[in-house]
Chains A and B, each alone.
Chain A
């Protein structure tokens, strides 16, 4: 029997190892798997590389992971937002490595990793400082920059509802990076507001099929 349900966030993240590459869904605070990040921070793992769009707000979730010294490197497109005080302090002190990646290139690098595509060419960042040191090739008279895929050891995502097979649906704009990150790691852990019986999620409406998801934990009601 397939049963991906876990009782607590702590149990769901208990075996994540030092040095892991962790993909984290969310866009700002919307769709951030905050409780999973906080549970991981409480374990004081070390040497993580995290891949996520923003660098956390406040001292919870992604912010807490950084505050607890779990993160060596962050791959993101927009680290500076009001409230990203932990990031700014660590970055300015030289204690956090930052890889700045255009937002669409993060999404596509993770999608490529999920699809077994090791690298791809994109027009994005051509002729800018973010293309420096990267291979450029010309296709049909236009220059494109080579980007390598990203594959996560772990993905932490947030969804609205899930079932014991790991199927997920989202609510409104909390979807954002979550389905992309969910596809891109060897171990994907989803926190959901509600675990429902098999069959309650209409197959026509499933956004993340359970094949991508290893663990599901019910944490809080939406907007609670």
Chain B
């Protein structure tokens, strides 16, 4: 049994997003989803700071300090892209105009509660950004996160202990072990990696799971994560 790496998780999320969707990607792991979108789909990415239709820089392209995404990283616009101000940007989010938000998580509870903005032991100032807007505004909230924390504790829990970002808002969870959908009838496992049994998956999970009758193995291409030397973040970059 080999858990998916971050690229494979992002690949799996990307392949769940249908052609024609308007999508907001949260900062961190969700941003990698843009790299694995199938070429035959028109997906319009939204950024809180007033962009629709952006793409990452290509190798060799110079960054433009006036053109950044919500993570304050330089981007470029696609033909068909648009700029708008913050009130319109959050009108898009809060008014239900976005099809998907892809977010990271510290905890997802059995009822779909999400905690992803503040740790309890954190002494430094809180920072919420646009997460609380996205969880209730997007038509569907997809979560991408490791199945377990580094200490082995589950991220998908019976009840969240951390301060919530939103209640009953998560639609689907993509982990390195499984794809899990929240239904009216609880958390349903749609896909699991090969070599993992349902009982083993349940043991790694705090929430009660149910295995879908038509569950499938969770298979992705090999997508090695490039080992890059750790880079000190630049001033202004999240």
Interface residues in chain A, defined as those with a beta carbon under 8 Å from any beta carbon in chain B:
27-31, 53, 55, 57-58, 77-83, 87-88, 91-92, 98, 100-108, 110-111, 122-130, 170-180, 207, 222-223
Contact = CB atoms under 8 A, between A and B. Distances in A.
B176 to A, nearest CB: 27
Contact of B124 (A31, A80, A126, A223): A80
B170 to A, nearest CB: 13
A181 to B, nearest CB: 9
A102 B128 contact: yes
Contact of B72 (A30, A103, A105, A124): A30
B163 A80 contact: no
Q: Which among A87, A107, A178, A179 has the greatest number of chain B C-beta atoms within 10 A?
A: A107
A81 B89 contact: no
A172 B83 contact: yes
A128 B166 contact: yes
B129 A207 contact: no
14 contacts: A27-B68, A28-B236, A29-B72, A30-B66, A77-B130, A91-B124, A103-B128, A104-B94, A104-B130, A128-B167, A129-B163, A130-B132, A173-B69, A223-B64
Nearest to A74: B125
Contacts of A129: 163-164
A115 to B, nearest CB: 10
A27 B49 contact: yes
B66 A222 contact: yes
Contact of A30 (B68, B113, B124): B68
* CB-CB nearest 6 A-B residue pairs: A104-B90, A83-B235, A104-B133, A127-B167, A102-B132, A103-B130
Nearest to B136: A123
Interface of B: 47-51, 64-69, 72, 77, 83-87, 89-90, 93-94, 113, 123-133, 136-137, 163-167, 233-238
A29 to B, nearest CB: 4
A149 to B, nearest CB: 12
Contact of A82 (B48, B69, B130, B236): B236
Nearest to B232: A82
A86 B233 CA distance: 17
A129 B132 CA distance: 11
B136 to A, nearest CB: 4
B50 A176 contact: yes
Given A79-B125, A80-B125, A173 B236 contact: no
Contacts of B89: 104, 107
Contacts of A87: 125
A145 B72 CA distance: 29
Given A30-B66, A30-B68, A81-B238, A130 B128 contact: yes
A202 B123 CA distance: 50
A1 B164 CA distance: 54
A57 B235 contact: yes
Contacts of A55: 125
Contacts of A31: 66
Given A58-B235, A82-B234, A92 B124 contact: yes
Contacts of B87: 107-108, 110-111, 179-180
Contacts of A106: 86
Given A172-B67, A173-B68, A207-B85, A100 B166 contact: no
Contacts of B164: 127-129
B137 to A, nearest CB: 7
Nearest to A98: B125
A27 B113 CA distance: 29
Contacts of B47: 173
A108 B165 CA distance: 19
Given A81-B236, A128-B163, A128-B166, A173 B94 contact: no
